[in-house]
Amino acid sequence: MSKRTFRIWRGDAEGGEFEEYTVEVGPGMVVLDAIHRVQAEHASDLAVRWNCKAGKCGSCSMEIDGMPKLGCMTRLGDYPESHTITIQPLKTFPLIKDLVTDVSWNFAQNKRIKPLQPKPRDADGEHRMQQEDVDRIQEFRKCIECYLCQDTCHVLRDHDRKDAFVGPRFMIRVGQLAMHPLDTEDRIPAIKEELGSGYCNITRCCTEVCPEHINITDNGIIPLKERVVDRYYDPIKMLLRKVRGA
C-alpha cells in the first residue's frame, strides 16, 4: 500500500474547481477504485457513474489526464507513482455534477435511426445469415455506449456541431444496419443528410479512444462515406444508374 494524490474536478454547471485528495492505493487498482476510496473516506457526495467495473457497461467514462477513458479500465500502475492524476468529466456534454455529465443527447440520436427492417423469413421460419456476412456488423455491436468516441470527436467537442453530425457511435450504429444482410431499408440518404457523414474528417480519435477496440473509422465511417459516394458523388455510377433505370 502506498499513498497517491488525485486532482478531481468538483462542481456543477454553475462552476467549481479542482480538489486534491490523497488516498491509499494497492496493487492492481484502477482509477475508479481510487474514486470510490475518495468517496468513502473524504467526499461521500462526489458524483460518479459506474456499474459493472469490468469494461462492459460503459458507465464510468471520464477524462483522465486529459484523455477520454473508462475509469474501471485505467490502471494506476500505468502512471508514475509520484504523478498526480487529473480526473475530469467528459467535455462534450453538459456537466451535471463532478464527474457526471448529461449524455441524453446521445439517446436522442439513437431514436433518430430507423430500426432494422428485416426481409421476410425463409419458408421454414428461419432467418439465414452466413458468419462472413455478419462478422463486420458484430464488430460494431461490441459497442458498450460509453460515448468516449462522442466525447473526443472534435466535430462535437470543439465545433459543437451536434446539429449536423450524429457522432461516431451512431455512425457505426447506422453502419451495422446498412451492412446488415437482412435489412431492406435504404439508409444512404439519411447517412448523408440527417446523420451528417460528410462532417467526419476521419481524424480517427474515435478509434483511438474506443475501449472495445472497434475500428470505427476504417471499418465503419469510411465504408459509409464510400457508399454515399456511390450514390451522390461518383458521376460514372450515377450515369450507369440512370441508364439502367431508363
Per CB under 8 A, contacts with another protein among 84-123 are 86, 88-91, 95-98, 100-104, 107, 110-111, 115-116, 118
Give me 72's grid cell: 474501471
- Asked if residue 53 binds another protein (CB under 8 A), the reply is yes
- Asked if residue 2 binds another protein (CB under 8 A), the reply is no
- Asked if residue 241 binds another protein (CB under 8 A), the reply is no
Are the C-beta atoms of residues 9 and 98 closer than 8 Å to each other? yes
- With H, G, I as helix, E, B as strand and everything else as coil, classify residue 12: strand
Q: Distance between CA atoms of 113 and 166, rounded to whole angstroms?
A: 10
Where in 173-202 is the site for another protein (CB under 8 A)?
173, 176-177, 179-183, 196, 198-202
Where in 139-158 is the site for another protein (CB under 8 A)?
141-145, 151-152, 154-155, 157-158
Is the dihedral angle over the CA atoms 54, 155, 16, 82 positive or is it negative?
A: positive
* Binding-site size, another protein (CB under 8 A): 120
Task: Determine which residue in the list 3, 28, 82, 123 makes contact with another protein, applying CB under 8 A.
Answer: 28
Task: Please report how close the Cβ of residue 107 comes to another protein at its closest, in angstroms.
Answer: 7
- Asked if residue 42 binds another protein (CB under 8 A), the reply is no
Measured N-to-C along each axis, helices 168-178 and 222-232 cross at an angle, to the nearest 10 degrees, of 60
Task: Please report how close the Cβ of residue 241 comes to another protein at its closest, in angstroms.
Answer: 13
Task: Please report how close the Cβ of residue 198 comes to another protein at its closest, in angstroms.
Answer: 4
Nearest to 18 by CA among 96, 86, 101: 86
- Give the contacts of 43 (CB within 8 A, at least 6 positions apart): 10, 19, 21
Degrees, nearest 5: CA angle 201-203-206:
110
Task: Determine which residue in the list 22, 105, 185, 204 makes contact with another protein, applying CB under 8 A.
Answer: 204
